Amino acid sequence: MMIQKNFFTKKECEKILEIKNKVSKYEGKDKYNLDGKGVYFNEYWLSNSIEDIKWITDKLIQFIEESIKVKINKINSDIAILEYNVGDKLGMHNDYNKSQHDFRVYTIGVLLNIDWEGGDFIIIDSKTNEKIILEKNIGNTYLFDALSPHMVDEVKGGVRYSLIAHIRNSEIKKQIL
């Protein structure tokens, strides 16, 4: 399952990018590349303590509920802005981790800019095995199940920004809308 739709405006994406200047930057390669999966990017973890993040999580929840008819309680602080500079990439992987009690069920993202080259987001649909390339539009919001393998090709020019959140099992109400 992969759903994508232009859901955030350019102005909203610019507002999200401003938030990254208020939070700490972490190097993904130091945190995630321990098993050699080709993880090269920077991340800015957002927190519910930042007063201007609630509108973002509310809008992400709206997208999820409208798209797949699943009720979301809330999105916790598992939300970040990812920054890919020239040469950065993310190797093929999935976001599901069965060893965690509160496992990831869905991943949702928003493409925040388009002034970069390379850096295609590629996903393999976990049900159809179809290869899908994310449409390169500012505000393109996408949702997929955590079992779907995905990657970001190497960025060849510019800086690529996206917002990513993981929806965990505890965040989903057990009812269908």
Specify the CATH number for the domain of residue 21. 2.60.120.620
Residue 166 falls inside a structural domain: yes
Q: Is the dihedral of CA 8, 9, 12, 13 positive or negative?
A: positive
Distances (CA, A) of 45 to 20, 21, 38: 8, 11, 20
The pLDDT, as a whole number, for residue 30 is 55
Strand partners, 44: 25, 81
| 34 CB-near residues (< 8 Å, 6+ apart) | none
The answer to whether position 125 is within a domain reads yes
Q: Residue 175: inside a domain, yes or no?
A: no
124-153 b/e with 16+ CB inside 10 Å = b? bbbeeeeebebeeebbbbbbbbbbbbbbbe
Which among 51, 55, 31, 57 is positioned nearest to 42, based on CA atoms? 31
Q: What is the DSSP string of 61-122?
A: HHHHHHHH-EEE----S-EEEEEE-TT-EEEEE-S--TTSSS-EEEEEEEE----EEE--EE
**Going by C-beta distance under 8 Å and a sequence separation of 6 or more, which residues neighbour residue 54?**
48
Q: How many domains does the chain have?
A: 1
177 domain residue, yes or no: no
Domain annotation covers residue 176: no
Cβ contacts of residue 136 below 8 Å, gap of 6+?
111, 114, 120
- Amino acid 65 reads E
Boundaries of domain holding 148: 2-170
Output the CA–CA distances (angstroms, integers) from residue 81 to 27, 53, 158, 173, in the order listed.
12, 12, 16, 26
pLDDT in tens, the chain (177 residues): 899 999 999 999 999 999 998 888 887 655 555 455 567 889 998 875 667 788 999 999 999 999 999 899 888 767 999 999 999 999 898 888 777 778 889 999 999 999 999 999 999 987 888 999 999 999 999 999 999 999 999 999 999 999 999 998 888 876 554
